[in-house]
Structure 1
Amino acid sequence: MFASKRNRFGLLSLVVSVVLVVTKFYAWALTHSQAALTDALESIINVFTSGFALYSIYLSGLPKDENHPYGHGKVEYLSVGFEGALILGAGVYIFSSAIQALLHPHTVQQLDWGVLLLGGTAVANLLTGFVLVRQGHKLHSPALVGDGQHLYLDAVSTLVSCAALGLVYFTGLVIFDTVAALILGVVIVVNGYRMLRRSVSGLMDESDVATVERVIAELQQHRQPPWIDVHNLRIVRYGANLHIDCHITIPYYFSLEEAHAEVSRIEELIRSRFDVEVEMFVHADPCTFSACPHCSMPDCPVRQHAFTRLVPWTLDNVVKNERHQLDEPTTA
């Protein structure tokens, strides 16, 4: 269901991008404005990136196979990187073109029609961008979010172009048009870099701290006596889906069936808290007597030390690959 929704919104982005790029180039043909040309050139990128985002969303929705045991979700980060690279390149070109226009001033004409057409595309981009970002977060699709954020930027660029043309109309100073193009070039370059950075983070499995903290909070809230400690927690996002693994320390005298039951409880707990597919693997470690002071297992038949207190599970200790100990030394 999620895949089909992502496909529909990806198609919406592509259709809107094609219509708006034609409109913007028509506005540039009427006005010969450098700012309008800047806006139109950026919109060409919208068409390519929306098409690639649609394809990546389709791929990410494919089921796992022998060659892709974790699914195809990573391709959405590639889509964001592709979009960021194109935006960065366009920003550099736009900035250099604006420098040339500054050195060689040009005339601007039919400003009323130009502002009207560009203003209409700005409204369309804002509405489409809002829908894509909202649905992208809801459907956990980095490609949709990235595409929507790009449309936001495109709308802002268009509004700056409209403001510049308005100033030219009322003052007769063409310099406003060129200055607007320079500003837009810088903004576009910065945005392209940020998108590339986000893409690299996803492809390199950079830790999603918010998701890690959410999992830790769920484990802490529903903590059970046999779960003596949780450590080496790792979370990798594959598009919308999550792969989670961790180690759980449980009483060493548990049978294989009892250990399996506790592991299953943890896995079901976490899966039930996310509305995306969660693949979770829990490795069970046997406890040692040094864990007795922070083990609340009732009627433990092998306890060597009195229970002192539980060690709270936090981001600082759960992600480490080491078992938890109390700060104070234990006594026999």
Structure 2
Amino acid sequence: MFSPPLKTRYGLLSLVVSVILVGIKFYAYLLTRSQAVLTDALESIINVVTSGFALYSIYLASLPKDENHPYGHGKIEYLSIGFEGALILSAGVFIFRSAVTALMHPHTVERPDWGMGLLAFTAVVNLVVGFVLVRAGRRHNSVALVGDGQHLYLDSVSTLVSCLALLLVVFTNNPVYDAGAALFLGVFIVVNGYRMLRRSVSGLMDESDVSTVQQVIGELQAHRQPAWIDVHNLRVLRYGADLHVDCHVTMPYYFTLEETHNQVHRIEEFVREHFEVVEVEMFVHADPCTYAACSHCHMPECPVRQHPFAQEIPWTLANTVKNERHLLVSEEVGSS
């Protein structure tokens, strides 16, 4: 299990690295007076602010449920991504405007060799740290860590573009390449900031994660039991590192309350064992079967069967998320 203190250490790593690298980049700008390097340094300031906010959001997400937050505090991580995306978007717009001015009035770039060396170093560090954060975040379902790591990837790409611009300036002695690189970075940063903001809104609005829903359906289908006649109205939501699942399961109407409870418990255990998250909260609503379900129910030695078993209806994304019981095609035609 991924303990909250370990997540905090990853967040602290990102913050410390961001502070050091932004200092190096501004030193590179003082040496070169390059518009592209300044653009990269300004974008890195966002790294420091967002890494600090991500660290705080990781701390909040690790807090247990309370009376005011019955589903926990995990959604703060989506707010962290939104805050990061909004800052990146704002910085991109400012950088774009500055780059246009620099393109219209280019100036000489000084000591580009030193600038390339310093920027190359920061790019390598950002790539390594970003890889570590994204890998840890995906493995342990922390969207804040993933977002922070992806931002470092973005920063490393910006840095490499700045290095390329300085290299072109060295070989051509034309400062236009410097301003052109800054203009490109401005557009690139705006696009990626929008994407992060869009992902944040999706999480805060409980937009369904199709891949996670398909995993839950696949787990239920793989461990399908005869007593689980039908699964429908399936909903899967993520709250940070926690997973919330609820669904309706049709079971034989003659089951006792204890038998129904045992079947529900088995469903919950199968799903919990499949997902490596901090907590899986699952609510299963049991529906009694009707005689219309006999044709796709293969409950052995059913004492109340009215129709012979015809075929099993596979559970898919298309039919399990609907709030209606499954019927064979022949039954749908007959009931219309």
TM-score, normalising length: structure 1: 0.98
Residue of structure 2 aligned with 1:313, choices 290, 312, 315: 315
TM-superposed CA distance for 1:253, in Å, is: 0.6
Equivalence for 2:138: 137
TM-superposed CA distance for 1:3, in Å, is: 1.5
Equivalence for 1:283: 285
Q: How does 1:23-172 map to 2 (within 5 A)?
A: 23-172=24-173
| Distance in 2, Cα, partners of 1:91 & 1:147 | 17
Query: What is the number of residues matched between the two proteins?
Result: 331
SS in 2 for 1:27: helix
Q: Which amino acid aligns with 1:143?
A: A
TM-superposed CA distance for 1:17, in Å, is: 0.1
Q: Could you say what the CA RMSD is over the residues aligned between the two structures, in angstroms?
A: 1.0
TM-superposed CA distance for 1:275, in Å, is: 1.1
Q: Is the 8 A contact 1:2 1:139 kept in 2?
A: no
| Distance in 1, Cα, partners of 2:186 & 2:51 | 21
Ranges in structure 1 where 5+ consecutive residues have no aligned partner: none
TM-superposed CA distance for 1:104, in Å, is: 1.5
TM-superposed CA distance for 1:71, in Å, is: 0.3
Q: Is the 8 A contact 1:49 1:79 kept in 2?
A: yes
State yes or no: 1:17 paired with 2:22.
Answer: no
Equivalence for 2:298: 296
Equivalence for 1:229: 230
SS in 2 for 1:106: coil
Spell out, residue by residue over 1:277-298, the C-alpha distance to the aligned partner (whole angstroms, 9 max, x if none).
Answer: 1000000000011111011011
Q: Is the 8 A contact 1:233 1:246 kept in 2?
A: yes
Q: Tell me the percent identity.
A: 71
Structure 1 consecutive aligned stretches of length 4 or more whose deviation exceeds 4 Å: none
| Distance in 1, Cα, partners of 2:52 & 2:30 | 25
TM-superposed CA distance for 1:160, in Å, is: 0.5
| Distance in 2, Cα, partners of 1:114 & 1:153 | 19
TM-superposed CA distance for 1:183, in Å, is: 0.3
| Distance in 2, Cα, partners of 1:220 & 1:171 | 63
| Distance in 1, Cα, partners of 2:324 & 2:4 | 38
TM-superposed CA distance for 1:109, in Å, is: 0.3
Ranges in structure 2 where 5+ consecutive residues have no aligned partner: none
Spell out, residue by residue over 1:62-112, the C-alpha distance to the aligned partner (whole angstroms, 9 max, x if none).
Answer: 000000000000000000000000000000000000011112221210111
TM-superposed CA distance for 1:2, in Å, is: 2.8
SS in 2 for 1:264: helix
Equivalence for 1:197: 198
| Distance in 2, Cα, partners of 1:252 & 1:268 | 22
Spell out, residue by residue over 1:200-254, the C-alpha distance to the aligned partner (whole angstroms, 9 max, x if none).
Answer: 1111111111111111111111111110000000001000110000000000011
